[in-house]
Amino acid sequence: MPQKYHINPKPTLPRFTPIGKYGTIDWMEGCLGCLKCVKKHSCVYENYDKQTSFVQKMKSVEYLYLCKNCLRCVQECTKGLLQRVINPEYSWLGDSYWTPEMILSTWYQAETGKIPVSGGGYRGPFVEEGFDEIWTDMSEIVRPTRDGIHGREYISTAVDLGRKLTALRFDANNALISNAPPFISIPIPLIFNILPFGDLSQTVLLSMAQAASEVGAFMIIKAEDYFDELNPHLKNLIPLLEVESIDEYKEIIKEAKIAEFIPLNKGGQGVVFYTDKIMEDIQRAKRINPGLIVSIRLPMNKNTDYLVDELARSGAEIIHLCADYHGNELDGSNPRFIKDVIRGVHLRLVEASIRDEVTIIASGGIALAEHLAKIIICGADLAAIDLPLLIALECRLCKNCLNNLPCPVEIHNVTPEYAVPRIANLIGAWHSQLIEVLGAMGLREVRRLRGEVGRAMFYEDLERETFGIRIS
């Protein structure tokens, strides 16, 4: 049995007071001062004790970052002095896609490295848009032998990056004559993407690169943002550059395992026309580094299916499809969501019998561990995540940085001692959740999850099959 991939969590407290969802109003004037206060003895999660550094005692309102909404303290107070309230600051976090629940969940995972659990249960709608239109199969969850987290079986989350052969050829002496293209295996199906915004500094980039090295992942970084302190982590970095800059950054290309290229946009309005030149540029880079694996970065738009088909037939190794940070296409009045784009690309390559030859990376709108599993079900090999890394560093998605306003949590001042374990904790929690999903589906490796739509239900498919309704 291969060695089990695991990330040991290192609990790392936040630098600033977190914004909790719930709190209590304490009518202190009626308190009996009893020796068995519910705050001390009734909270099974010990939130009042854990948050003494964040909660000032004797205050009329206490906002509890870790509260699970079980209401036990409210129910058991002998005088009925406690009432639960919603923190008004909580509703200001994030936006319509990156909801406060997502941000709070990510903070918890980055701090503890544990899977988030809510004592209040799920009280949301049955279906929403985007990834919430997908339900995953959990039919094997009743089998205890499927519990991969606790070591009863080995569940692999490793994926391969690079082009693959559909068949091997041998000569008369059974010697391999096929030229196998280079590929790299990573232990978890995600990499770190460039950030769409943020109060970034070289220390932040260094911390993320160090975290990528620690968890065995790769990190995409713009070639112009590279600096000497990143040299120890170069093997885990993917330089991002335009094809016209290959010669300018050849020293970085020479040392990198993977590079990502942005082809020249000649079409305008987000429409990119590709010719054989991109493949010529890739070969030019491979003359600098023969073992280099090249990823081609494509914006998701109405031409994505066609472009991926053409590039895959031309010999592309990795194609990185990028949506905006809400997971939508980058053009059109009615943009498709990332899950629909990836499903279309995957099915087109399957019909052409070339799906197994190319690696597909999806990015944009991947906010939770369940989104990672769902985008792989839709047909991606792995995902590139961005904003969850920033949220792990306590980002509130206020977007002050886009307006040249000060960051409320001073992300540019983070240190590797703080940032690396928080990012590693987040990835570890995502890894545990991915194993839980795979075990509940009865799968023992994540490669089998790719395109396995039989392991999921899609709301729009159910509506169409049941009622003849097409969901747009």
Distances (CA, A) of 296 to 68, 279, 436: 44, 10, 32
Closest CA to 129 of 458, 424, 462: 458
The DSSP string of 220-278 is: EEEGGG--GGGGGGGGGEEEEEEGGGTTTTHHHHHH-SEEEEE----SSTT-----THH
pLDDT for the residue 57: 46
Residue 192 region by backbone torsions, left for phi larger than 0, else alpha for psi between -120 and 50, else beta: beta
Q: Note the pTM of the prediction, 2 decimals.
A: 0.89
Residue 228 region by backbone torsions, left for phi larger than 0, else alpha for psi between -120 and 50, else beta: alpha
Closest CA to 257 of 290, 301, 303, 229: 290
pLDDT digits (tens, 9 = 90+) for 200-259: 999 999 999 999 999 999 999 999 999 999 999 999 999 999 999 999 999 999 999 999
Burial class of residue 247 in the structure, from the number of CB atoms within 10 Å of its CB (0-12 exposed, 13-18 middle, 19+ buried): exposed
Q: Which parts of the chain sit beneath pLDDT 70? A: 1-2, 27-28, 51-61, 63, 118-124, 141-152, 265-276, 469-472
* DSSP reduced 3-state for 84: strand
pLDDT for the residue 87: 85
Burial class of residue 453 in the structure, from the number of CB atoms within 10 Å of its CB (0-12 exposed, 13-18 middle, 19+ buried): middle
As a whole number of Å, the CA-based R_g of the chain is 24
Specify the residue for token string 């990823």.
295
Say if strands 293-299 and 318-322 run parallel, antiparallel, or are unpaired: parallel
pLDDT for the residue 26: 74
pLDDT for the residue 143: 59
- Tell me the C-alpha distance between 146 and 154, whole Å: 9
**Domains in the chain, please, with CATH?**
22-88 (no CATH), 159-467 (3.20.20.70)
Closest CA to 423 of 66, 15, 113: 113
Structure tokens at 289: 């580094």
pLDDT for the residue 80: 83
Exposure b/e, 137-169, CB count within 10 A at least 16 = b: beeeeeeeebbbeeeeeebbbebebbbeeeeee
pLDDT for the residue 18: 86
Exposure b/e, 31-70, CB count within 10 A at least 16 = b: eeeeeebbbeebbeeebbeebeebbeeeeeebbbbbbbeb
